[in-house]
């Protein structure tokens, strides 16, 4: 005869297994990214660049004028009159060109909107420094052992809760991603995790209906095998993302970021970058024009069927 205490413990046991399973089933396999306050050039190269491991450097910007200045009110002051391109999180459609903006607004109106309420409008890859050359004096090229591409860096802005879809960059660069004003969460995956990412063919993105905060493992079981990293970036902190890393970013509060880049060293990535720039994006644009939405739908479908076929998922 089973005693009440036996039944009680059995019940608690089952409940904890259930909770544990649910927990494992509902979250991605993510390691917290290493953090250092400062690091020498030699250690950065040895410990992170050579093995291609991400790291957050907390105090790299402390001696930049940007550390004091780069807040949204300053951007409003220097760039408020500029008309900026905005992107929301709508899925790619055939009628949109490659990286075509969804709306335009005066920078000051956009900053007011961000400060007033959560908005999913973001500014993606905008050359604000070309428009407002004065802000070029606010940052320094870090002497960190990477040969950085000395072109004007792009800036990214996002309102509270805005999300940058999971993607990797067309040139597979090493990226130094600096964040200002607010707090941002970054979820990143090394390029060798691509088989699990439901990559859309002829593009740089994962399927857009994947919610990387709460992935649906029934529909996207391959994601259970993906092993990535996570960090939260605060004002002035820099995330080093090695070559070709997938990244999904979520602005926890309104803020903005700047990326500096260094071309990939891995010859495989250099070839892929050249292919993406010279062939892939033109081919994709051509197919969108000639096949329309059917091309987008076909690619979305293939992201699932090809992923599952390659991994032997029935
Ligand atoms: O955080 C953002 O808004 C986008 C950043 C990004 O995708 C990049 O630096 O490549």
Residues 39, 42, 44, 47, CA torsion sign: negative
Burial class of residue 78 in the structure, from the number of CB atoms within 10 Å of its CB (0-12 exposed, 13-18 middle, 19+ buried)? middle
Cα 84 to chain centroid distance, Å, stands at 21
| Ligand 1 centroid, distance to 27 Cα (angstroms) | 23
Considering the entire predicted model, what is its pTM?
0.89
Domain total in the chain: 1
- Domain that residue 208 falls in: 4-311
**Ligand 1: which residue has its CA nearest to atom 5?**
156
**Ligand 1: which residue has its CA nearest to atom 2?**
156
Decide: 166 in ligand 1 pocket, CB within 6 A: no
Total H helices, total E strands in the chain = 9, 14
Decide: 171 in ligand 1 pocket, CB within 6 A: no
What is the H or E stretch that residue 72 is in?
helix 72-79
Decide: 122 in ligand 1 pocket, CB within 6 A: yes
CB atoms within 10 A of CB 235: 16
For residue 56 the two structure tokens come to 């957050």
Decide: 175 in ligand 1 pocket, CB within 6 A: yes
Q: What angle do CA 285, 287, 289 make, to 5 degrees?
A: 70
Query: What percent of the chain shows pLDDT beyond 70?
Result: 90
Residues 98, 102, 107, 112, CA torsion sign: negative
Say if residue 247's pLDDT is above 50: yes
CATH of residue 296: 2.60.120.650
Decide: 257 in ligand 1 pocket, CB within 6 A: yes
In testing the pocket of ligand 1, which one of 122, 156, 243 has its CB within 8 Å of the most ligand atoms?
Answer: 156
Q: pLDDT for 267-309, tens place per residue? A: 999 999 999 999 999 999 899 889 999 999 999 999 999 999 9
d(CA 215, CA 28): 7
Q: What angle do CA 179, 133, 274 make, to 5 degrees?
A: 65
Q: pLDDT for 197-243, tens place per residue? A: 999 999 999 999 999 999 999 999 999 999 999 999 999 999 999 99
State which ligand 1 atom lies nearest to the alpha carbon of 257: 1
| Ligand 1 centroid, distance to 16 Cα (angstroms) | 39
């Amino acid at each position: 005869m089973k005693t009440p205490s036996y039944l009680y413990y059995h019940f608690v046991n089952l409940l904890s297994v259930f909770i544990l399973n649910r927990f494992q089933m509902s979250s991605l396999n993510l390691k917290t990214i290493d953090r250092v306050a400062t690091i020498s050039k030699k250690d950065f190269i040895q410990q992170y660049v050579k093995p291609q491991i991400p790291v957050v450097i907390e105090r790299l910007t402390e001696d930049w004028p940007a550390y004091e200045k780069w807040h949204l009110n300053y951007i409003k002051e220097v760039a408020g009159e500029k008309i900026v391109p905005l992107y929301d999180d709508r899925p790619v459609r055939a009628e949109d060109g490659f990286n075509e903006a969804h709306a335009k607004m005066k920078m000051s109106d956009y900053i007011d909107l961000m400060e007033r309420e959560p908005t999913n409008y973001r500014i993606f890859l905008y050359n604000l420094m070309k428009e407002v050359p004065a802000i070029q004096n606010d940052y320094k090229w870090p002497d960190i052992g990477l040969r950085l591409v000395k072109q004007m860096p792009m800036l990214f802005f996002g309102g509270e809760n805005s999300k940058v879809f999971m993607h990797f960059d067309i040139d597979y660069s090493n990226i130094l991603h600096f964040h200002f004003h607010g707090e941002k969460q970054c979820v990143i995956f090394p390029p060798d995790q691509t088989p699990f990412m439901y990559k859309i063919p002829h593009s740089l993105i994962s399927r857009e209906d994947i919610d990387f905060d709460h992935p649906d493992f029934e529909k996207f079981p391959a994601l259970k095998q993906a092993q990535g990293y996570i960090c939260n970036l605060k004002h002035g902190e820099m995330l080093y993302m090695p070559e070709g890393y997938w990244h999904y970013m979520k602005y926890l509060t309104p803020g903005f970021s700047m990326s500096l880049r260094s071309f990939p060293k891995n010859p495989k990535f250099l070839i892929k970058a050249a292919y993406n720039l010279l062939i892939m994006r033109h081919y994709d644009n051509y197919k969108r024009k000639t096949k329309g939405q059917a091309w987008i739908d076909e690619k979305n479908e293939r992201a699932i069927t090809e992923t599952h076929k390659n991994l032997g998922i029935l």
